Amino acid sequence: MKFSPHLRRTRTSNNIWNYAAVISNEERAVEAARSWLLLPNRVARCPNCRQMMNVEQRSDYKINFRWRCRRQGCNKTVSPTSNTFFDKSKVSVLSTLRLILHFFRNDKVSQAARDVGVSRKTAVQVYHYLREVCEVAEAHDRQMLGGSNDVVEVDETHLYSNKYHRGRLLQRQTWAFGCISRLTKKIHVELIPDKTRQTLDPIVVANVRPGTFIMSDMHRAYRGIDLRLNMGGHYVVNHSTNFVAGTVDIPVHPSLGEPVATGAPNVNVKIHTNTIERQWLELKRHCRTCRSQRRLKWYMGEFMYRKNILRNLNSDAARFRRFIRDIHRVDPVASKSPSPELLRSLLQSP
């Protein structure tokens, strides 16, 4: 299928606003959705008789046409939005694409609803779909943290509350555990039922490479973690007395500290968990609008998606292209709870 010049220019442009400019009306929005592979750009085959279908145009259809099988005795109709991101959307393709752009820019849902001209409930629904895309795509593309030349900070936090029993009383017993690489700044966070060693050790094994140097606070579940999980070393900070417990000379990447001596393999690295503590602040701000325990994992998945995947790309246009590609790879509207087999078929590396 041939696309108009204004769509072809967006493939080589590095300006994110060119993507917004091409969806100025419904016709261009449908064309853009086809170009971005969010809608099929070729004639469908009949699901019953496997014959090529014809285009039937009517103004009351969602995008003004459907496919109809003209074979005698069949007469099957198929909507172009069937099993796509737009299948259950109650608004036009133009409004949906504009909501996608607002979500990508991390705008508030109320602001997006006002700018696009839809109800807040509709904008919230689209945002939830997009958060599910982020959660599934990030889980599929996730890589282990750390390595023999890296330091990984681990910590746990209580969401929706202030620490040290200050502020409002706890409303929900929701604990989260996280680990972050100082070298790559990639992070992993997930909800945990408790803070015991039996809960935290499997998470560390699944997400941190053996031989990594671990830094944590004085929580008893971390004692001996380097010996149990074959890590390079374990260093702790006592937050009741200070936030930086001195330094240690370890053989890690030179960017993580000051070289001990010229040409020496060891680097003088500060012992603290301030990096992961700073991420807790951002995560709590990100999850502040979440009102459902079931959807909380989507918020956390979106947080990791933006930190681990989008942040590493060099321009907004490249990030938007990656985001659109992930919507094409994973469509939560078509499958609310994708099976592992379906995920493997949808999430093929490009």
- Mean pLDDT value across residues 245-258: 88
The pLDDT of residue 314: 87
- Mean pLDDT value across residues 26-43: 77
Strand order in the sheet with 151-158: 187-192, 175-181, 151-158, 213-216, 233-236
**pLDDT tens, 46-94?**
777 777 777 777 776 677 777 777 777 787 777 777 777 777 677 888 8
Q: Residue 348: which pLDDT band, with cuts at 50, 70 and 90? A: very low
Q: Are 76 and 46 in contact (CB under 8 A)?
A: yes
151-294: CATH superfamily: Ribonuclease H-like superfamily/Ribonuclease H (3.30.420.10)
Give the residue ranges of DSSP H helices in the chain: 5-8, 17-21, 26-35, 93-104, 109-116, 120-140, 197-207, 225-228, 274-286, 296-308, 316-329, 340-346
- The enclosing H or E element of 66 equals strand 65-68
- Mean pLDDT value across residues 162-178: 63
Each domain of the chain, given as residue ranges in start order, spans 5-39+81-141+313-346, 151-294
| Average pLDDT, rounded, for the chain | 80
- Mean pLDDT value across residues 177-183: 94
**pLDDT tens, 294-325?**
888 899 999 999 999 999 888 888 888 899 88
pTM over 0.85: no
Q: Strand 151-158 relative to strand 175-181: parallel, antiparallel, unpaired?
A: antiparallel
Q: Which of 203-212, 263-272, 290-299 has the highest mean pLDDT?
A: 203-212
Q: How far apart are CA 20 and CA 93, in angstroms?
A: 13
Angle between helices 120-140 and 93-104 (to 10 degrees): 60
Residue 328 in this model has a pLDDT that exceeds 70: yes
